[in-house]
Amino acid sequence: MATSSERSPPPFPDSEDQDVLDAEEVGGRDSDEDDGEDLFMSASDPPLTEMDATLPPANEPTDVLMNLPTDIMDAPLIEPVSSPTESKPASEVVIEPSDDFVDLTNNITDSPDDSVAAEIAVADAAKDSTEISLDEPTEIPLDEPSDDFVDIIRSETQAPEEEVAIADVTVEAPTDKSEVTSGATDPPGDGETGENAEQAAKETSTAPVNDLFADMPASSTQKPPVIDKIVDPLVDLLGDSPPAADAKKLSQATVDLFEDEGSDLFAEPRQTKSTKQPQKSLFGEPDEDLFGEPLGATAKKTISKEQKDKSVMTKAAGVSSNIGGPLQDSNPAEPADIFTEEAITSVPSVKSTSTVNSKTNGVHSEEEADIFAEATVELSLDSPQDQRKKEAAAKPSVSAPSSSGAASLTKPQPAGLEELEEEEEEELEDKFEIFISVKDPEKIGDGMNAYMAYKVSTQTTLPMFRNKTFTVRRRFSDFLGLYEKLSEKHGPNGFIVPPPPEKSILGMTKVKVGKEDSSSADFVERRRGALERYLQRVVNHPSLIQDPDVREFLEREELPRAVSTQALSGAGFLKMINKATDAVSKMTIKMNESDVWFEEKLQEVEAADQHFRKLHALVESLVVHRKELSLNTASFAKSTAMLGSAEDNTALSRALSQLAEVEDKMEQLHQDQAANDTFSFAEVIADYIRLLGAVRGSFDHRMKAWQRWQDAQTVLQKKRETEAKLLWANKPDKLQLAKEEIAEWEAKVTQFERDFERVSATVRKEVVRFEKEKAKNFKRQIVKYLECLLQSQQQLIKYWEAFLPEAKAIA
């Protein structure tokens, strides 16, 4: 703020930069230098930066890192004037880190471009990396070096995550695209992109480590000049940090970046590790530190599946197992699909990515090429299926085999659908070892006080339960009560608590009134199924199954009556969810998401919600059509029977009444098919519309945690200002108190930040799990649907084959 006037933002360097790049295809070094200058200007307020010890400089790198991918993806159009301001915030961070976010992200995101995109992206990348290096030197000499350092690294651990995720997307996109369009309408340089991607993939499979490290030294050695330049003044000012050290720091940063790939996969960020051995990890034993695990996994997978899937596949397996490995402790579910969803949003990025990639083909820009190659490498790993798809459509593809469950899918060409189904079932069994069925809906009581009770049967091999099978009786409100308890307990921690079907006044009233029509039976059956799926989702959740309330619900004979479920009834429930989502969207604006992954996910969730609603309407209309056909068939059957009775030729009369029977059965088939549509799709889609509400809820809780952290930071900031004033006023007595307060709030900030990170990690994990489950669930539904279709075809054959002799008997 105060710095803005002092700062002399150079309005041109950036644009010049681009021009130069454009016109002369200047090498990475040039651009780096330019950028360096550029950045230097922004960083030329080191005193300020220095003064502010509170600044979590971590934010800066985070931003930068985030921005880099954003750039790439959005095909940014650089506004020469605005982009320099980008460098401003670098120092502004000191006072208002959140504002900074805004500035940075805004600048970069609204700096799109068409033709220059590649160069810009590259330039930005270079810039970004130098920026990191700049920021670090400046903060190192700060008052609390150790703390800060931790901060840096911690935040960096976040940052690389972002980068990885996004890079994933970008890489995946081209492969995807090229596959979809088969290279027909690709943007210029797409062919190259494809090549690049493939190359990357190949590289990955063969020597990922080599590749990575080959370029790492390159980048670190390449950067020092820049750093020197920039740092020199700093050195003068601070007299503390020698350029060499800076170079090292830079490399540290780089290392962290890569190390995080490993660590970000872990549920909790490993802060200490990175602080302790950054240099070591970079130069000493990089393999072990960075890729030890993935490599190992890769090797293993390669051995186990060599014949089946080669290069890319193997690598994919390696990565996914790498991801899955650490998670397995806490979460048996394997996050193979982590990045699959991301790919969806990435489609628009294809163009820019490809240009970047093609650009990287140039000899001069090897450094950048490397940067992107790395990204490509990591990312292509995460999209094994896409790669596969592209590489060999004919190959019996294998799903990312990171969990034992997925293994069943990898078996090539099982004998039949049923077998597959069985295997899947086995997979489920292996995983969850618990099955819930909700049966025998029963109306209890009379009139408007009536309610529905269900038999909840559990079958399990889990040791936490006393018996292997047990059945309890629960009424609908008990299900809602369970949800309330669970969402109260686990919601704030970022867990996605599966929601039960909402109360339906209309449906229940019909049941209560005792109308025995088909719609009321349909309602009861739909709800029974929804409750069953709801409970199964709850017990499938590795954390929720541990909850005593869940166990009590399943096991205890008599459950205390749930009182507060009224709030959940019908519209109220929906309103609740909607409120939560409103809050989320409002907060999103305020928060200006520090983590692109979450931002994108939220957008995806919203888009998915829209899709689901449309899909639901479509399926419902399909059901309507089927019912119409069924109705018409029924009336034709009746009419045919009448015609048969009017026919005076006995054999023909008989054949006609047989035909009427066949048509009657066909009507039943159509009805079954309508039910199949309903239960295979419509109901499950309705579930997911509800579940998406819960997903949004978990995002909401994350926002809340963030807000708390930010509030604490604001307080801390104020306390520090007070301290400074006291220091100025020379009041040592009060100063002590202020110092204590600062310490207290620092602890709080740290705590809240940790909380936020914990919630973020949980949400991330949960979303990954949710998506995986979702894909699996729908796959199962489709298989089921197809089976149903097949069955009805076979029934049809049976009916007509039975009719044929009747027709032949007509004489």
Q: Which of 495, 681, 745, 770 binds other proteins (CB under 8 A)?
A: 681
HSE value, Cβ hemisphere, 13 Å, CA-based, for 808: 6
Distance CA 605, CA 600 (A): 8
The answer to whether residue 344 forms part of the interface with other proteins (CB under 8 A) is yes
Q: Which of 102, 207, 737, 804 binds other proteins (CB under 8 A)?
A: 804
Segment interacting with other proteins, rule: CB under 8 A, options 225-233, 328-336, 646-654, 717-725: 646-654
Q: Which of 280, 468, 590, 808 binds other proteins (CB under 8 A)?
A: 808
Structure tokens at 80: 């020469």
Other beta carbons within 10 angstroms of residue 310's beta carbon come to 15
Q: Rounded to the nearest 5°, which phi and psi values hold at 4?
A: -60, -35
Alpha carbon distances (Å) from 25 to 116, 123, 323, 696:
11, 11, 39, 46
The answer to whether residue 775 forms part of the interface with other proteins (CB under 8 A) is yes
Residues 273-292 that bind other proteins (CB under 8 A): none
Residue number, 51 or 788, with CB nearest to other proteins: 788
Segment interacting with other proteins, rule: CB under 8 A, options 225-233, 496-504, 725-733, 803-811: 803-811
Picking from 65, 32, 219, 51, the residue whose alpha carbon sits closest to that of residue 152 is: 65
Nearest-approach distance from CB 325 to other proteins, in angstroms: 23
The answer to whether residue 770 forms part of the interface with other proteins (CB under 8 A) is no
The answer to whether residue 739 forms part of the interface with other proteins (CB under 8 A) is no
Indicate the burial class of 5 (C-beta count within 10 angstroms; 0-12, 13-18, 19 or more): exposed
Site string for other proteins, 533-552 (x = CB under 8 A): --------------------
Q: Which of 54, 70, 241, 385 binds other proteins (CB under 8 A)?
A: 385
Structure tokens at 243: 């350029």
Residues 625-644 that bind other proteins (CB under 8 A): 625-626, 628-629, 632-633, 635-636, 638-640, 642-643
For the CA atoms of 102, 107, 109, 114, the dihedral, rounded to the nearest 10 degrees, stands at 180
Q: Which of 343, 472, 482, 554 binds other proteins (CB under 8 A)?
A: 343
Q: Which of 238, 450, 675, 783 binds other proteins (CB under 8 A)?
A: 783
The answer to whether residue 794 forms part of the interface with other proteins (CB under 8 A) is yes
Let me know the angle formed at the C-alpha of 595 by 100 and 198, rounded to the nearest 5 degrees: 120
The answer to whether residue 603 forms part of the interface with other proteins (CB under 8 A) is no
Site string for other proteins, 435-474 (x = CB under 8 A): ----------------------------------------
Nearest-approach distance from CB 296 to other proteins, in angstroms: 27
The answer to whether residue 356 forms part of the interface with other proteins (CB under 8 A) is no
Picking from 522, 486, 485, the residue whose alpha carbon sits closest to that of residue 504 is: 522
Q: Which of 239, 646, 729, 733 binds other proteins (CB under 8 A)?
A: 646
The answer to whether residue 63 forms part of the interface with other proteins (CB under 8 A) is no
Q: Which of 574, 583, 615, 742 binds other proteins (CB under 8 A)?
A: 615
The answer to whether residue 786 forms part of the interface with other proteins (CB under 8 A) is yes
Alpha carbon distances (Å) from 329 to 441, 536, 735:
38, 22, 47
The answer to whether residue 567 forms part of the interface with other proteins (CB under 8 A) is no
The answer to whether residue 810 forms part of the interface with other proteins (CB under 8 A) is yes
Residues 413-432 that bind other proteins (CB under 8 A): 413-414, 416-417, 420
Site string for other proteins, 394-413 (x = CB under 8 A): --xx-x---------x--xx
Picking from 172, 62, 190, 205, the residue whose alpha carbon sits closest to that of residue 128 is: 62
The answer to whether residue 803 forms part of the interface with other proteins (CB under 8 A) is yes
DSSP summary character for residue 449: G
* Cβ proximity of 69 and 162 under 8 Å: yes
Residue 570 φ/ψ region, left for φ over 0, alpha for ψ in the -120 to 50 degree band, beta for the rest: left
The answer to whether residue 310 forms part of the interface with other proteins (CB under 8 A) is no
The answer to whether residue 348 forms part of the interface with other proteins (CB under 8 A) is no
Q: Which of 556, 614, 725, 731 binds other proteins (CB under 8 A)?
A: 614
Question: In sequence order, what DSSP letters do the residues of 713-724 get, joined into one string?
Answer: HHHHHHHHHHHH
Nearest-approach distance from CB 745 to other proteins, in angstroms: 44
DSSP summary character for residue 270: -
- Residue matched to tokens 């690709």: 186
- Helices 28-43 and 208-222, packing angle to 10 deg: 60
- Buried b / exposed e over 564-600, threshold 16 CB at 10 Å, is ebeebeeeebeebbeebbebbeebbeebbbbbbbbbb
Segment interacting with other proteins, rule: CB under 8 A, options 28-36, 45-53, 326-334, 341-349: 341-349
Q: Which of 274, 340, 540, 762 binds other proteins (CB under 8 A)?
A: 340
The answer to whether residue 196 forms part of the interface with other proteins (CB under 8 A) is no
* Cβ proximity of 471 and 435 under 8 Å: no
Alpha carbon distances (Å) from 490 to 329, 483, 537, 766:
19, 10, 15, 12
Alpha carbon distances (Å) from 530 to 337, 658, 676:
25, 39, 15
The answer to whether residue 564 forms part of the interface with other proteins (CB under 8 A) is no
Residues 82-141 that bind other proteins (CB under 8 A): none
Total number of residues that touch other proteins (CB under 8 A) = 73
Structure tokens at 304: 């186990």
Residue number, 214 or 804, with CB nearest to other proteins: 804
* H helix or E strand, kind and range, residue 614: helix 596-646
Other beta carbons within 10 angstroms of residue 249's beta carbon come to 24
The answer to whether residue 730 forms part of the interface with other proteins (CB under 8 A) is no
The answer to whether residue 390 forms part of the interface with other proteins (CB under 8 A) is no
